[in-house]
Structure 1
Amino acid sequence: MRTGIATVCLSGTLEEKLRAAAKAGFDGVEIFEADLVTSSLSPEAVRSLADELGLGLDLYQPFRDFDSVPDELYRDNLRRADAKFKLMDRLGIETILVCSNVATASIDDDALRAEQLHGLAELAADHGVKVAYEALAWGTFVNDFEHAWRVVADADHANLGTCLDTFHILSRGWDTEPIERIPGEKIFFVQVADAPKLSMDVLNWSRHYRVFPGEGQFDLPKFLGHVARTGYNGPVSLEVFNDTFRQADVERTAVDAMRSLIWLEERTAKHLAAGTAESGDPAATPTPAQLAAASRAYPMPLTTLPQVAPPSGINFAEVKADPAAAGASELERLLAQLGFESRGEHRTKPVSLWTLGDARIILNRQQARGVAPAISALGFDVENSVTAVARALQLKAVAVPRTSQANEEVLQAVEAPDGTEVFLCQDTLWAEEFGAGLPASATEPPAARIDHINLAQPWQHYDEGVLFYSSVLALSPQPSQEVSSPAGLVRSQVMQTELVGGERAVRLALNLAPWVQADSVRGTVADTFQEHIAIAVPDLIATARACRARKLPFLEIPENYYEDLDARFGLEPQFLATLRELDLLYDRDEQGDFLHFYTATVGSVFFEMIQRIDGYDGFGAPNAPVRHAVQHAAQKSK
């Protein structure tokens, strides 16, 4: 598949955008008119730079408000177009994007539109240019891709075709199956963007909230599957308007963008392998032979990646801290009060291992000068770590360099967008490198394990994190939620494996820190980017009493919470009294019940102990505002 990106997706100058696109591995770019107009580079210099970088210049855009206008304006529009066609010749670009008219001067007459677009195509042919006509979602009269195609078909000119844009089609909820009725040779260009599903004006939605494929909620594999079936074999190019991307590092954004197209190619091949246009499951796992056949079945080839199953569990969580920093000794005391046991020091590194049943926490003091306790790495159980890392590297992840001695396990890791190191583990043999290692049998208690991890994300990398974990680890993103806190709304995106036998192997929550916190460096300020590790136990009340006996500092829950809890659920009085006594929180869903409590925060890390009863599948979200408020008050009092 030929990959492309519009320069409007990226920050910086036109030269910086071209260099970043080339470095990320794109085949071509769309030149957005404003980027050229404001550039100090001549059209000839832009063409020369693109040639030097190995980039194709695939599209010039946008040309607006051309069609269905009065004769005088039509003649003026042809003059405008002639100037742009001459400019495109200097750039070496063969295709121009013409948007459906959004101006008040537009006349609702399809015959006139077809006639005027035919005249434009005639002029374009004189310059060796092709015209791709696109229906804008907010077009005055043409806002539907089928309508745009009918006009193109009526105009009947070899140099006139249509452009399909996922946002303009999917934001309006149009049925995508009719795409297959458009001849592939008459689709001159395809633009893709994802987006969260929002209830707002479609123009503002488009201008500010588009994201890269895999970071929103549109069914892009289904869309591109329809396109593939037409026989189209041109560029698939990103056109994303996003305020965050236009402020973020240009090279990093380009890499994230390229990762999104690699993800989309693979998901489209899986969709096609599923074999149905309407109900193909993009999350399905076809056999390698089926996937290979689907990737080669159409003129547009689709690259696939090494196939991996979702992780089967969380192997460990690592917290990094300077032993001289405030909270380092408090962290070890906190683990002991939770019931964790120290398994000793690593034989060659300043690292220690703590366990509670199958829950493993590593305390890392390497290269930690000045670092208050913060989550620094996560380990996931995978079937084949070599294959999993190979897939991650093809998805543009960065490998984590790690020095190992001859008698140590070689652990494979890549870096997540927020800097967290992600280890892909096949077993726990690495634990033998620590003092006592792991116990012979996990009976302390037997069902204790890491249930989920909450990671706070810097504002500029939040969407990138969603795509990273869904593409690299095959975790499924859930609809995002917003939780209130004293510092503002916290946006949360859960990434998780599918339910198997009523259990989920991995749950990961990515939280977007409020803007008031977002400018601080992660892990260096105690009240910034609070994150936590949740441990599931079989009997939370017994665990809480044991922790109380060990003098664990609980997060103190206000009495108002319990009065509200009683009003909502009508709990048995003795049970409610136990919750009050132990500062426990409670929730219920259609499956079952949820008990949990929180520790105080050390550095930027705190712990949550939980019990899921009868298949409860949430996170106690109604209790999150209480937790945020109590933590905020505790920090203010320090």
Structure 2
Amino acid sequence: MRTGIATVCLSGTLKEKMQACAIAGFDGIEIFEQDLVTSPLSPEEVRKMAADLGLGLDLYQPFRDFDGVTPDLLKANLKRAEAKFKLMERLGMDTILVCSNVATATIDDDDLRAGQLAELAELAGAHGVKVAYEALAWGKYVNDYEHAYRLVEMVDHPNLGTCLDSFHILSRDWDTAPIEQINAEKIFFVQVADAPKLSMDVLSWSRHYRVFPGEGQFELAKFLGHVVRAGYTGPVSLEVFNDVFRQSDTERTAVDAMRSLIWLEEQSAKWLANASGADAPDNKAASRRRYPMELATLPKVNEPAGFNFAEVKADDTAQLEKLLGQLGFGFQGRHRTKDVQLWTMGQARVIINEQAASHSEPAIAALGFDVDSPVIASARAQQLKAPVVARKVQADEEVFQGISAPDSTEIFLCQGSPDGTAAWTHEFGEGLDRSTETQNAVIDHVNLAQPWQHFDEAVLFYTSALALEPQPFAEVPSPSGLVRSQVMETSNGAVRLVLNLAPAQQAQTARKTYQEHIAFAVDNLVAAARSAQERGLEFLQIPANYYEDLDARFDLEPGFLATLKELNLLYDRDANGEFLHFYTATVGSVFFEMVERRGNYDGYGAPNAPVRHAVQYDSLHRV
């Protein structure tokens, strides 16, 4: 699959954008007109630079408001078009995007539109240019891709074809199956963009909230599968208008964009294989190869089986050690060659890392996940442009396959074991001391704060590299503003990540200042809380108003309600079960949560999140 990206997706100058696209590995680019107009580079210099970088110049865009106009305006439009065709000759480009008219169309007549498009195609042909006609979702008279293609058929000119844009099609819920009936030779270009499902006017949705494939909720694999089945062989190019992306680091955004196309290519290949119902499973690869466009796939990995460990880095570890001990974790010693500690409670393992942590307050630094094959999982992640993280090891020590997440959290892919143990723990001693542990525990979920410019990137990273599934996002009220919360989890809930977008005033330095936490699941939370209380644990203090509201909502048994209030426990219930939890005070940017899931409760106590945010805010700002 030939990959492309529109320069409008990225921040920076045209030169910076082209360099970033080449570094990210794109085959070609679309030049957005404004980027060229504002560039000091001449068309000839742009052409040479693209050649030097190995980038194709695949599309010049956009040419707006051409069809459905009066004769006088048509004449002016043709003059404007010829100037662009001459410019494209200097650039060495042969395809231009022409959008269906939004602003100046006054005549709703397909015969008239076809006649005007025929004149445009004839003029384009004289300059060696192909016109890709696109139906904008908010076009005045033409807003349906099938309507646009009917006009192309009416004109029947070799220099006029259509452009299929996933946003304009999927935002209007148009059926994508008819794409397969389009003559592949008349599909001159394909653009893809994802988007969250929003209730707003399509123009504003398009101009501000598009995202890269895998970061939204559109069925892009199905869309591209139909395009492949139609026989299309040209570029698949990203066209994403997004306010955040155009303020973010150019090269990093380009890499994220490339990751999204690699992911989409794989997902589309899966869709094609699964949609070939007549083919036996062992013939699915052959089924894919019958289409002119070849879709590459990645090393296949299963979703993680669970958390292997969580790591907190700190300079002064005394408060962390005290907190873990009060929760009931047992100290298992220091690593024999590294300045790190191991603390455990059942299968919940926490590493305290003092290496290169000078002058740093406690913060979550790394997460380990149990996977079937760490080497294969790492190879997949690297093909998805994930930066590699290496750690020095001695000859007889476990070698972790590590990659870096968008928020700089280090992700380690570990060899899981059926009994939930971890082979590397022997590096801290001959055997784990369980004598101080009062309960069995596992890591239930981890909550990570995401910088505003990398939130969507993080969703795609965990989806594509770790096979986690994004759940519908929520917005949680806090005294600092609404906090966008995105749950990423495995199908069985063995791994749960909660990605939080920090409030605006904290977002610039979210990893250093915004609180994150690790949650541990136990079998008996009340017993765990009483034991922690006896060890002197400082609980997050929940206001009495909360318990009055809780009683009104759930009509709890008075003794149980009194226990919750006494121990500062929070409670939630749904049709599937119950959820009890409590929080510790914050050390640096880290706090801990203990939870108990009763029945089949699968949530996170979302109604209690505003209470937690408010209490933490009050603690942080208390004079």
Q: TM-score per shorter chain, which class?
A: over 0.9
**Residues 185, 438 of structure 1: CA spacing in aligned structure 2 closer, same or farther, 3 A cutoff?**
farther
AA of the residue aligned to 1:248 = S
5 Å matches for 1:551-630? Answer: 551-630=536-615
Distance 2:107 2:96 in 1: 23
Match of 2:234 in 1: 234
Q: Answer yes or no: is the 8 Å Cα contact 2:306–2:369 preserved in 1.
A: yes
Superposed, 1:235-254 pairs within 5 Å as 235-254=235-254
Q: State the partner residue of 1:318.
A: 311
**Displacement of 1:184 after TM fit?**
1.3
Q: Secondary structure at the match of 1:470?
A: helix
Give the whole-Å Cα distance in 2 for the aligned partners of 1:226 and 1:566. Answer: 54
Q: CA deviation at 1:298?
A: 1.1
Name the SS for the 1:586 alignment partner: strand
The answer to whether structure 1 residue 539 and structure 2 residue 524 are counterparts is yes
Q: 1:68 aligns to what SS in structure 2? A: coil
- Asked whether 1:99 is paired with 2:99, we answer yes
Question: 1:395 — aligned with what?
Answer: 384
What letter corresponds to residue 494 of structure 2 in structure 1?
A
2: CA distance between counterparts of 1:179 and 1:333? 63
- Answer yes or no: is the 8 Å Cα contact 1:477–1:495 preserved in 2: yes
1:494 aligns with 2:481: no
Counterpart AA for 2:375: V
Cα 1:397–1:577, aligned 2, differ >3 Å: closer, same or farther? same
Deviation at 1:445, TM superposition (A): 2.5
Q: Is the 8 A contact 1:584 1:596 kept in 2?
A: yes
Gaps of 5+ in 1: 281-285
Deviation at 1:415, TM superposition (A): 0.4
Question: For residues 444 and 295 of structure 1, what CA distance do their matches in structure 2 show?
Answer: 55
Structure 2 match to 1:147 = 147
Matched, 1:433 2:427: yes
How many angstroms does 1:540 deviate by?
0.6
Q: What is the CA deviation profile of residues 249-301 of structure 1, one whole-angstrom value per residue up to 9, with x for unaligned ones? A: 10000000000000000000111111269xx9xxxxx97x5563354231111
Q: CA RMSD in A?
A: 1.6
Structure 2 partner of 1:283: none
- Cα deviation per residue 1:372-417 (whole Å; 9 max; x = unaligned)? 0000000000000000000000000011021111111111100001
Amino acid at match of 1:67: D
Match of 2:358 among 359, 369, 377: 369
Partner Cα separation in structure 1 for residue 142 and residue 55 of structure 2: 33
| Structure 1 residue matching 2:11: 3-state secondary structure | coil
1:445 matched residue in structure 2: 439
Q: Does 1:636 align with 2:616?
A: no
CA distance change for structure 1 residues 437 and 295 in 2, over 3 Å: closer, same or farther? farther
The residue aligned with 1:343 is 332
Structure 1 residue matching 2:96: 3-state secondary structure: strand
Counterparts in 2 of 1:635 and 1:379: CA distance versus 1, 3 Å: same
In 1, distance between residues paired with 2:124 and 2:604?
58
1:542 partner letter: A
| Residue identity in the other structure for 1:457 | Q
Instruction: Give the letter aligned to residue 479 of structure 1.
Output: P
Deviation by residue 1:565-624 (Cα, 9 ceiling, x = unmatched): 111111111111111111110111221110000000100000010011111010000100
Q: CA deviation at 1:220?
A: 0.4
Q: How does 1:398-417 map to 2 (within 5 A)?
A: 398-417=387-406
Asked whether the equivalents of residues 67 and 106 of structure 1 are also in contact (C-alpha less than 8 Å), the reply is no
Shift of 1:154: 1.0
Aligned equivalent of 1:520: 509
Change over 3 Å in CA distance of 1:383–1:443 after alignment to 2: farther
Residues 291 and 624 from structure 1, CA distance in 2 versus in 1: closer, same or farther, beyond 3 angstroms?
Answer: farther
Q: Which residue of 2 aligns with 1:386?
A: 375
Tell me which amino acid in the other structure corresponds to 1:263: W
* Contact 1:310–1:382 (Cα < 8 Å) also in 2: yes
**Counterpart-to-counterpart distance in 2, 1:346 and 1:128:** 68
Using the alignment, how far apart are the partners of 2:39 and 2:105 within structure 1?
31
Report if aligned partners of 1:343, 1:436 keep a CA contact under 8 Å in 2: no
| Counterpart residue identity of residue 518, structure 2 | I
Note the C-alpha offset of 1:152: 1.0
Deviations 1:51-76 (A, max 9, x none): 00000000000000001111111111
What is the percent sequence identity of the aligned residues? 69
- Change in Cα spacing, 1:200 to 1:521, as seen in structure 2 (3 Å) is closer
Q: Report the Cα distance in structure 1 between the residues aligned to 2:298 and 2:180, rounded to whole angstroms.
A: 26
Q: What's 1:157 paired with? A: 157
1:429 counterpart letter in structure 2: A
Match of 1:88 in 2: 88
Task: Give matches, 1:1-150, under 5 Å.
Answer: 1-150=1-150
Question: Which secondary structure does the structure 2 equivalent of 1:16 belong to?
Answer: helix
What corresponds to 1:259 in structure 2? 259
- Find the residue that maps to 2:262 and give its secondary structure: helix
> 2: distance between equivalents of 1:442 and 1:380?
25
Deviation at 1:7, TM superposition (A): 0.2
- CA displacement, residues 129-184 of structure 1 (integer Å, 9 cap, x when unaligned): 11000010110111111111111111111111110111111111111111111111
Contact 2:450 2:510 in 1 (8 A): no
Evaluate the alpha carbon distance shift between residue 42 and residue 416 of structure 1 in structure 2; reply closer, same or farther with a 3 A threshold: same
Letter in 1 for 2:96: I
Match of 2:200 in 1: 200
Measure, in 2, the Cα distance between the counterparts of 1:478 and 1:586: 22
TM-score, length of structure 1 as denominator length: 0.95
- The DSSP-based 3-state class of the residue aligned with 2:312 is strand
Q: Deviations over 1:93-147 (max 9, x none)?
A: 1100000000144311111111111111111111111100001011011111111
| Cα shift at 1:520 | 2.4
> Separation in 2 of the partners of 1:81 and 1:169?
26
Residues 442, 592 of structure 1: alpha-carbon distance in 2 compared, 3 angstrom cutoff: farther
Partner of 2:471: 478
Q: Distance in 2 between matches of 1:186 and 1:167?
A: 20
1:331 maps to 2:324:
no
- Distance in structure 2 (CA, Å) of the matches to 1:105 and 1:220: 31
Give unmatched runs, 5+ long, in structure 2. 417-421
In the alignment, which residue of structure 1 is the partner of 2:411? 422
CA contact (8 A) 2:193 2:211 kept: yes
Residue type matched to 1:591 in 2? N
Cα distance in structure 1, aligned partners of 2:237 and 2:220: 13
Aligned counterparts of 1:355 and 1:291: Cα–Cα separation in 2: 46
Give the counterpart letter for 2:424 in structure 1. W
1-structure distance, mates of 2:304, 2:443: 13
Residue identity matched to 1:584 = L
CA contact (8 A) 1:344 1:436 kept: no
Contact 2:176–2:226 (8 Å) recurs in 1: yes
Structure 2 residue aligned with 1:454, among 434, 437, 447?
447
Measure, in 2, the Cα distance between the counterparts of 1:93 and 1:591: 59
Larger CA deviation: 98-107 vs 6-15: 98-107
What amino acid is the match of 1:395?
Answer: L
1:289-329 Cα offsets, whole Å, 9 max, x none, are 55633542311111100000000000000000012xxxx31
CA separation of 1:439 and 1:298: change in aligned 2, threshold 3 A:
farther
Deviates more, 1:61-70 or 1:172-181: 172-181
Change (3 A) 1:294 1:370: farther
CA distance in 2, matches of 1:559, 1:637: 19
Amino acid of the residue matched to residue 218 of structure 2?
Answer: F
Deviation, structure 1 residue 430: 1.1
Q: In the aligned structure 1, how far is the partner of 2:250 from the partner of 2:431?
A: 45
User: Displacement, 1:441?
Assistant: 11
Distance 1:438 1:296, change over 3 A: farther
